[in-house]
Structure 1
Amino acid sequence: MFESIVVAVDGSDAATRGVEAACKLSEAFGGEVHLIHALENKAVVKSDQAKRATGGNGLTSDVMDAAVKQVRSAGITPSSATVAEGDAFDEIMMIVGLYAADLVITGRRGLGTLSGMFAGSTSQQIAKHASCAFLSIK
């Protein structure tokens, strides 16, 4: 039923519960777990800036490290763990398409910006536009 599960992580409690739900669904249905963390615009952490300044091109994320550790502690190896720089909705939907996800999981009110409350949260955008099942965790 759920062969490809994409989980958006942002360090919030709701996202952590989303990872837990993804692990349980993966166990139940044998699905792959794909993690995505979007560093929105100016939210690139200092370690990433330092890495680029010294010639590196990858992004790092304590949020992603914690999510990968959480998945592994459930006895599952994440199929992918992507840290992207850009709009959260766009980055999540790119991963959903890339891995032909049949389920995307997000926290309902994560660590989005105040403007997100007025323009619509990432979860609301995904619920409206996703072509697969969507689970929002509170």
Structure 2
Amino acid sequence: MYDTILVATDGSEAATRATDHALDLASTFDATLHAIYVVDTRRYGKAMLGDSGEATAELEERGRELLGDIETRADVDVTVTLREGRPHAKIGEYADEIDADLLVLGNRGLGSGGEIGSNAERVVRSVDRPVITA
């Protein structure tokens, strides 16, 4: 049913649930799993991140840690990618690149309250692929 599954992570509780779900689905369907972390420079603003790149480097390192955790936990093939930009756009672009059969992402990110997060909503509205939010 699913050959290529994409999971997006930002380290939030919801993204952890989504990762668990994506790992289960990939194992069940013997699918290739792709994991993406997007350094959201828009969220913090270039002025706040500064010209030195230290803050961006820290966000990238956090992303590598999260992606490494997914690789360690997976019992199927997993490909990880780290991108920079607007999360919903980069997730959609990557889904197109790999021709994902399914996207799995948290329903709320790090900054969301009780409703669906803005990035999750934007992904759901902008891609023409099945999306599961957890």
Distance 1:84 1:97 in 2: 14
Provide the residue aligned with 1:30 in structure 2. 30
Provide the residue aligned with 2:123 in structure 1. 126
Q: Deviations over 1:88-113 (max 9, x none)?
A: 01110111000000101111111247
Figure out how many residues of one structure are paired with residues of the other and give that number. Answer: 124
Unaligned stretches of 5+ residues in structure 2:
none
8 Å CA contact retained: 1:104, 1:135: yes
Distance 2:57 2:18 in 1: 29
Identity of paired residues, percent?
Answer: 26
CA spacing shift, 1:49–1:28, aligned 2, 3 Å: closer
Provide the residue aligned with 1:88 in structure 2. 87
Aligned pairs for 1:1-138 within 5 A:
1-41=1-41, 43=44, 46=54, 48-49=56-57, 60-78=60-78, 80-112=79-111, 121-137=118-134
CA spacing shift, 1:84–1:112, aligned 2, 3 Å: farther
TM-score (norm 1): 0.76
Distance 2:83 2:10 in 1: 12
The amino acid across from 1:96 in the alignment is A
CA RMSD of aligned residues (A): 2.5
The answer to which structure has the higher helix fraction is 2
8 Å CA contact retained: 1:19, 1:71: no
